[in-house]
A and B are shown apart, each in its own frame.
Chain A
Amino acid sequence: MAKKSVTKALKDFWYGKPHTAAEGGRRLGDLHEDKTHLYKHREWRGVKDTMYYFYNIWLYNYIFMVKDIMVMHGPITFAKGLWRYRWVGQTYLPVLHWFDRGLEGMRGEAMRASAWHYRAMVSTTIRQFQRMFAADTRLHGGRQNELYKRTIAHNETVWGGVFYPWDGEIQNVPLEMIPYFVTCHVNSHTVLNYIDAVQSIGLPGDPCPMCQAESGIFVLDDVPDYAPAVITCNEACDASVSTSTLQDWFFDKPLFSLPMPMLFDDPLVKKYVMREIEELWKFVEDQYGIPFSWEKLTKKLELQNELQRFEWEKWEVAAKSDYYPINGVAQALYRIYQTQYGDWEIWHVTDKKVRKILEKCVSKKINSFPQTRHRVIAWSCAPLYYSNWCTWAYNCWGLNVIINMDSLMFDMEIRTDSYEHTLEDMAQYHMWAPMRRMAVGGMHHMFELWDYMKRFNCDMVAMYDQLQCKGVQGLHGLFEDEFRKRDIKAFWIPHALPDSRTVSRAEIRRLINDYMSTVMHEEPLDPSLLDFDDSMTW
C-alpha cells in the first residue's frame, strides 16, 4: 500500500497529478485562497511543465516586460505613466496572474502555444501604452513633441489597417484598447472606476457598459493627450456613436467620424464605405501633412494576409482534429487583438512559434485536451472580466471551447491587385468589425452559428448573453426557439462585458454547473472547481 502511494507520489511529482477525480485528481480548486483567488501555491504540473512554466512563461515574461519597456521609450516614461494613469498602474502589474488564470491546468503543448499568444498581447500592449506616454503632453509639461505630432488616436473599433498607408510615419494608437479593453481582462477592478464616473454625471446604467467605461476614462480625466487628431467610428452599436459625442467634448480635438453601415450585405453600402475610407485618408493627410502611400498600404496588407492564412490553417486543425493546441481564451483574445489592431511584427513572430507547436501536435497526434467531453462553440460577445471561463469549464467539466464568434468575424484576405479591389475589401473588412458582423449586423448573421457549429464539429453552444447589448437581447427569444427546434445543447452565459458586479464569475459558474448536472446529467471532472469564492479576484 505504502509502496503504491510512494509510486503514485513520484509519478505525480514527475508528470503532475492527473486531471480527473476518478484518477485521484489534481483538485485545482484547492490551490486558491478564498476570495482573492491568489494561489496558496502555484500548480505543480510535473517537472517538465512546471519548469517550463517557471522559466519560459513566468520568468521569461517578467524579463521581457522589463525589456520591452527599456526598449520602447524607457523606464522613466513608464514610471511617469504609471504614476499618472490608474489603468496602467493598477492593471499591468498583475499581468502574470492573467497568464495563470488563462493557463490554469494546461499541460504540454496547450500550455506552450497558448502562452505565446499571451506574450504577444503583452508586448503589443506595452508598445501602445509606452507610445501614449512618450507622446503625452501631460507627461511633458504640456509640450507637443515630435512623437505627439506623429501619433493618431482612434476609437478602438476603428480597424488599425486603415492607417497602413502611413506605416512608419504615423503611429496609430487606439484610445480605449489599452486603458479600457485590455485592462478588464487583466484586472477587472480598474474599469469599475470608469463606469461609476460616467454614471456620476448622469448617464443611466443601462447603455452598453463597454461604452460607459470608454466614456468614463474621459470623465475621470484618465486619457493621455498623445495625438493631435482623432478618428472615431459608429462601431459596434448605438452607444458607440454616443460615446464618440462624449469623448469629443472632453478630448476637444479635430475628429473625423468613419461611419459604417450596420447592415452590410447590400453591395451599395460597400461603395459608400469605400468613399468614406477615402475621406478618412484625406483627413489624415490634411491633419498630418504626410501623403498617402499605396506601396505601404499593400505591403502591410500582404503581411496581414499572411496572418489570416495561418489562422485558416489553425481553424482547419481545430475543426477537423483533436490536435489543436490553443485553449479557448488564448484563441479568442489573440485573434481579436490581432485582427482589430492590425498587422505588427510580434504577431508574425508568435505565429511562427505556434506553427511549430501546431505541426508537432498534428504530426505526433498530440491531443492537448484529452478530457474533452464536448466541443463547444462560444457565440456572441464574451465577458471581459471572465474571458478565462473556458479554461475553468474545461478543467471542471471537459467543455472544450474550440472556436468563438470573435475569432470568426474577419474571415477574409484583402486583395492588393488593384486600388478598387483593395478598397472594396477594406470596406468589407471594416464592416465586419468586432461585435458587428454577427451581433448587430443583420440578424441572419448571428444565426450563422449553425454553419460554424457544423464546420468546427461542435456539439454544444456557449451562448453569451451580454445583458446590455440591445442587438443580442433583441434576438433572445428567436435563439431560444431555434435551440429547441434544432435540439441543440446550449447554455447561456449572462454578463455585462467589463462589469463584474452585474453577474459575478461565481454566478456564471453556477449557471454552467446547473446546466451540466441537471440537463446533461454529467459529473464534474474536478469537483474542487464547482464552487469557490473568487469575488475579490483580479
Chain B
Amino acid sequence: MNKICKFFLKVFAIVFVANAALFAVFFFDLDGKLLFNVVEPFLKKHYDDMDRKDTLKTPYNIDEFPKYDYHS
C-alpha cells in the first residue's frame, strides 16, 4: 500500500514539478527569450553564412517550353 502511495506521490510530484516548471517557462516568457536571444541569432548566422547558388546564372532557354494551348 505504502509503495503504491509512494509511487503515486512520486508521479504526482513529478507532474507537479513539470507543470510548475512549464508554467514558469510560460509565465516568464522563457521560450520567447530563448528563441529571440539564442535560437534566432544562431539560425540567422547559419542562413547568412550558407553558400547560395548565384541564381542570375540560371539558364534562360528561350525555346525550352511549348505553348500550352489546348483549345478548350
Indicate if B39 sits at the interface (CB-CB under 8 A).
yes
Interface residue tally for chain B (C-beta within 8 Å): 31
Q: What mask results when residues 34 to 72 of chain B are scored 1 for a CB within 8 Å of chain A, else 0?
A: 011001100110110000110110111100110011101
Bound-state CA distance A36–B29 (Å) is 12
Assembly CA distance A90 to B39 (angstroms): 8
Q: Does any Cβ of B come within 8 Å of A291's Cβ?
A: no
Q: Chain A interface: which size bin?
A: 35 or more
Q: Is the CB of A38 within 8 A of B55?
A: no
Query: Measured between C-beta atoms, what is the minimum distance from B67 to chain A in Å?
Result: 11
Given the known A-B contacts A221-B53, A279-B68, A283-B68, are A93 and B39 also in contact in the complex, defined by CB atoms under 8 Å?
Answer: yes
How far does the alpha carbon of A89 sit from the alpha carbon of B43 in the complex, in Å?
7
Are A249 and B60 in touch, CB under 8 angstroms?
A: yes
Q: Smallest Cβ distance from A384 to chain B, in angstroms?
A: 19
Does A480 interact with chain B (Cβ within 8 Å)?
no
Residue pairs across A and B with CB atoms within 8 Å: the count is 84
The answer to whether A83 and B65 touch (CB under 8 A), given A38-B33, A275-B72, A279-B70, is no
Shortest beta-carbon distance from B26 to chain A in Å: 5
Q: Which one, B33, B58, B68, B70, contacts A249 given CB within 8 A?
A: B58
Nearest B residue to A275, CB-CB: B72
Distance of A283 Cα from B69 Cα, bound (Å): 9
Which residues of B have CB within 8 Å of A252? 58-59, 61, 64
A288 CB to nearest B CB, Å: 14
A94 and B59 contact, CB distance less than 8 A: no
- Residue in contact with B27 in the complex, picked from A42, A276, A278, A538, CB distance below 8 Å: A42
Tell me, yes or no, whether A218 is within 8 Å of chain B by CB: yes
How far apart sit A249 and B55, CA to CA, in the bound complex (Å)? 9
CB-CB under 8 A from B47, the residues of chain A are 86, 89-90, 193
Residue of B nearest to A246 (CB): B55
The CA of A36 and the CA of B64, in the complex, are separated in Å by 49
* Binary flags per residue of A209-221, CB closer than 8 Å to B gives 1, else 0: 0000000001111
B70/A283 in contact, CB under 8 A:
yes
From B43, B53, B55, B72, A90 is in contact (CB under 8 Å) with B43
A362 to B5, alpha carbons, bound, how many Å? 47
In the complex, chain A residues whose CB is within 8 Å of the CB of B26: 42, 54, 58-59
Minimum Cβ distance to chain B for residue A339 (Å): 26
A41 touches B36 (CB 8 A): no
Q: In the docked arrangement, what's the CA distance between A461 and B33, Å?
A: 36
In the complex the two chains form, what is the Cα distance from A93 to B31 in whole Å? 10
Closest to B32 in A: A38
CB distance from B28 to the nearest CB of A (A): 5
CB interface residues, A 317-375, toward B, < 8 Å: none
Whether B16 is near chain A, meaning CB under 8 Å from some CB there, is: no
B22 at the interface (CB under 8 A from A): yes
Q: Contact check, A41 vs B27: say whether CB atoms are below 8 A apart.
A: yes
The answer to whether B23 has its CB under 8 Å from any CB of chain A is yes
Q: Which residue of A lies closest to B40 (CB)?
A: A90
Chain A hits for B39, CB < 8 A? 93
Query: Is A11 among interface residues, defined by CB-CB distance under 8 A?
Result: no
Inside 8 A of B32's CB, which chain A residues have their CB?
A: 38-39, 94, 96-97, 100
Bound Cα distance A380, B25 (Å): 39
Considering the complex, which residues of chain B in the window 7-37 have a beta carbon less than 8 Å from any beta carbon of chain A? 22-23, 26-29, 31-33, 35-36
Question: Is A483 located at the chain interface by the 8 A CB criterion?
Answer: no
B71 to chain A, nearest CB (A): 8
B40 to chain A, nearest CB (A): 6
A358 and B29 CA atoms in complex are apart in Å by 30
Beyond A255-B65, A282-B70, whether A39 also contacts B29 by CB under 8 A is yes
Which residues of A lie under 8 Å from residue B52 when comparing CB positions?
A: 220-221
What are 19 A-B interface contacts by the 8 Å CB criterion? Answer: A39-B29, A41-B27, A41-B29, A54-B22, A54-B23, A54-B27, A58-B26, A59-B22, A89-B47, A93-B39, A97-B35, A189-B40, A220-B55, A221-B52, A249-B58, A250-B58, A252-B59, A279-B68, A286-B68
Apart from the given pairs A201-B56, A286-B70, 16 other A-B contacts in the complex at a CB distance below 8 Å: A38-B36, A39-B29, A42-B28, A83-B46, A89-B46, A89-B47, A90-B40, A93-B43, A94-B32, A97-B32, A189-B40, A220-B52, A221-B52, A255-B65, A282-B70, A286-B68
Interface residues of B (CB under 8 A from A): 22-23, 26-29, 31-33, 35-36, 39-40, 43-44, 46-47, 52-53, 55-56, 58-61, 64-65, 68-70, 72
Closest 3 CB pairs of A and B: A39-B29, A278-B72, A282-B70
